[in-house]
């Protein structure tokens, strides 16, 4: 039986890490703040993966972002995925050389299918995460790209089915409506996935507590949950959340806590 995962997402913009609510950004702290409040040599034992996304609204710089990524990976012992502004194989290569194990793409999934095909060909399907942002318009879900600025008019099931030939290894499915609300995940959104989509699903948008993580992970279509809430899970929040989920019927991987040993080495 495949183990389910808890993923922590960091949102980065112009030198700072951010909170997002319905895709409106609020500055929280810089890299020094993050390292002070999130010691990744400890947190690594309570999450299964880390995703770092450059969500800058102004022009993005992969080279600047890669330097931030290098600094984050120094004491982080879990797989890392990174993305935001990846527009070429060279961009992906730079992130992978800077400590990422996977790359995340969003708008190119629908605007530049050749990039998705090239990434899969060069790095393997397992190295690519497709990020899909959904928002309700009336009673219907729509896919939004370009940081939530542009709505695609085709139905989500049709758009998602169209990329099956070069499907990413995983799909990061994010609710713009629930984003940053702390009111729980939109599980109904999963109905936009037809049965042909077999890529593992990472569900994001709305996590406010450990109960929300557990409820989503118990859904048969959900392989992992992601939270980007820096304040709800600050301090020992991620440790407590994992212990809560682990006490349920969710099958999580078991990681021995070797943080004291690693601190001695470091």
Q: Is residue 72's pLDDT more than 90?
A: no
Question: pTM for this one?
Answer: 0.94
Q: Is residue 265's pLDDT more than 90?
A: no
CA distance linking residue 227 with residue 238, whole number of Å: 10
Q: If you count DSSP H runs as helices and E runs as strands, how many of each does the chain have, helices first?
A: 10, 12
Average pLDDT over residues 206-233: 94
Tokens representing 116 are: 């998705």
CA distance linking residue 32 with residue 47, whole number of Å: 21
Q: Which CATH superfamily is domain 5-265 in?
A: Aldolase class I (3.20.20.70)
CA distance linking residue 41 with residue 266, whole number of Å: 9
CA distance linking residue 212 with residue 209, whole number of Å: 6
Tokens representing 30 are: 């810089």
Check residue 2 and give its pLDDT: 80
Rounded to 5 degrees, φ, ψ at 103 are -115, 150
Report the alpha-carbon angle 41-46-48, nearest 5. 95
Closest CA to 6 of 189, 209, 242: 242
**Per-residue pLDDT tens for 122-166?**
999 999 999 999 999 999 999 999 999 999 999 999 999 888 778
- Report DSSP letters for 62-93, one per residue: HHHHHHHHHHHHTT--S-EEEESS--SHHHHH
Q: How many CB atoms lie within 10 A of CB 261?
A: 10
Between 12 and 236, residue with greater pLDDT: 12
Active site residues: 133
CA distance linking residue 190 with residue 79, whole number of Å: 25
CA distance linking residue 237 with residue 235, whole number of Å: 5
CA dihedral 137, 140, 146, 149 (to 10 degrees): -10
The pLDDT-based confidence of 35 (bands split at 50, 70, 90) is confident
Q: Are 147 and 57 in contact (CB under 8 A)?
A: yes
Q: Return mean pLDDT, the chain.
A: 91
Average pLDDT over residues 224-235: 90
Check residue 58 and give its pLDDT: 83
CA distance linking residue 206 with residue 184, whole number of Å: 4
**Per-residue pLDDT tens for 170-217?**
999 999 999 999 999 999 999 999 888 889 999 999 999 999 999 999
Domain ranges, ordered by start, for the chain: 5-265
The pLDDT-based confidence of 249 (bands split at 50, 70, 90) is confident
Chain centroid to CA 224? 10
Q: Which residues pair with 129 in a beta bridge?
A: 104, 170
Between 263 and 26, residue with greater pLDDT: 26
Check residue 261 and give its pLDDT: 45
Tokens representing 224 are: 């992992």
Can you give the length of the chain in residues?
266
Beta-sheet pairing, 5-13 with 170-175: unpaired
DSSP H/E element including 50: strand 49-54
């Amino acid at each position: 039986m495949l183990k389910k995962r808890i993923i922590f997402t960091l949102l980065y913009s112009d030198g700072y890490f951010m909170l997002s609510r319905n895709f409106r950004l609020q500055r929280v702290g810089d890299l020094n703040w993050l390292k002070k409040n999130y010691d990744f040599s400890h947190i690594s034992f309570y999450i299964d993966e880390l995703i770092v996304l450059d969500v800058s609204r102004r022009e993005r710089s992969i080279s600047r972002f890669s330097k931030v990524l290098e600094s984050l990976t120094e004491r982080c012992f879990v797989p890392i995925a990174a993305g935001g502004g990846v527009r070429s194989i060279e961009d992906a290569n730079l992130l992978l050389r800077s400590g990422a194990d996977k790359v995340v793409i969003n708008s190119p999934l629908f605007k530049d299918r050749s990039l998705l095909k090239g990434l899969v060909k060069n790095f393997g399907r397992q190295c690519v995460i497709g990020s899909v942002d959904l928002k309700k318009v009336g009673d219907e879900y729509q896919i939004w790209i370009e940081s939530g600025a542009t709505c695609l008019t085709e139905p989500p099931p049709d758009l998602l089915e169209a990329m099956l030939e070069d499907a990413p290894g995983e799909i990061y499915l994010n609710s713009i409506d629930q984003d940053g609300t702390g009111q729980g995940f939109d599980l109904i959104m999963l109905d936009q996935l037809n049965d042909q989509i077999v890529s593992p699903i990472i569900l994001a948008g709305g996590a406010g507590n450990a109960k929300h993580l557990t409820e989503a992970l118990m859904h048969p279509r959900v392989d992992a949950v992601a939270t980007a809430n820096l304040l709800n899970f600050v301090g020992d929040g991620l440790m407590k959340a994992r212990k809560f989920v682990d006490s349920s019927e969710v099958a999580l991987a078991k990681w021995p806590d070797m943080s004291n040993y690693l601190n001695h080495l470091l």
